[in-house]
Amino acid sequence: MKRHHPVVRITHWVNVLALTIMVASGLRIFNAYPAFARKGESFCCYPFAGRPIPSWLTFGGWLAGARNWHFAMMWLLVVNGVVYLGFIYLHGEWRDLVPRRGILRDAREMVKFYLTIRKDHPRQGKHNALQRMAYFAMPLVGIIAVVTGVAIWKPVELAPLTHLLGGYVWARYWHFWAMLVLVVLAVVHVFMVFTVDPYSIPAMITGQYRERWSPEARNARPFVHLAPAHEDEDEHARR
């Protein structure tokens, strides 16, 4: 069955590239001054002040190079995000992502299933409740990252925005947290794809998906993959 429109697939992989470079170059920029408090001052909420991020997690080579990459990817991410959000709104795919009534109950049932408390996979549509919540949250966190990033990029020209975020130090801190949340969501997403629904990877490339290979059809949880029912029948027939 057709699962992902070409616009969704293209914007997905552009996001992968842009976010990877943005995060890595942002960490290189952070390493130029790995703290949030101004010199001679203290900051309440970051216990690792003065400790740079490991260089292998950074990108850009030096501060100026990292800034160039960071801002280039920022505009790519913004344009890509506008295209994606505009498409899912006009195409109606937002209905598969927006949390619906009972989302917290359904999310609780998914957690129970993943913890083996519940034996059967909860019924789902294109995405389960946890996926809906994550996919709905990512664009919102991305918007926060862009707003806070612009506030620390132009703290004088956009002084009202910077002050609204608590000042330059706090705007930088919220930008850092937005990046961390995006990284956590992305890592969990990749982990769940590989351990629960690896058959969705080709679907994000070709757009095609076999419904009988879905996690619900296979009653799949992390690292537990049951063969699709049709494959069991085929194997039985061969025997």
Tens digit of each residue's pLDDT (9 = 90 or more) over 7-66: 999 999 999 999 999 999 999 999 999 999 988 888 999 999 989 999 999 999 889 999
pLDDT-derived band of residue 238, with 50, 70 and 90 as boundaries?
very low
pLDDT-derived band of residue 232, with 50, 70 and 90 as boundaries?
very low
pLDDT-derived band of residue 161, with 50, 70 and 90 as boundaries?
very high
Q: What is the CA radius of gyration of the chain?
A: 21
Q: What 3-state class would DSSP assign to 2?
A: strand
Between 96 and 130, the more confident residue is: 130
pLDDT-derived band of residue 235, with 50, 70 and 90 as boundaries?
very low
Residue 110 in this model has a pLDDT that exceeds 80: yes
- pTM equals 0.85
Superfamily of domain 6-34+44-238: Transmembrane di-heme cytochromes, Chain C (1.20.950.20)
pLDDT value of residue 153: 93
Report the C-alpha gap between 173 and 45 in whole angstroms.
9
**Widest CA span of the chain, in angstroms?**
77
Domain boundaries, the chain: 6-34+44-238
pLDDT-derived band of residue 188, with 50, 70 and 90 as boundaries?
very high
Contact 208, 2 (CB under 8 A): yes
Report the C-alpha gap between 168 and 166 in whole angstroms.
7
Cβ neighbors of 48 (< 8 A, separation 6 or more) are 34
Residues 143-158, mean pLDDT to the nearest whole number = 94
DSSP type of residue 196:
T
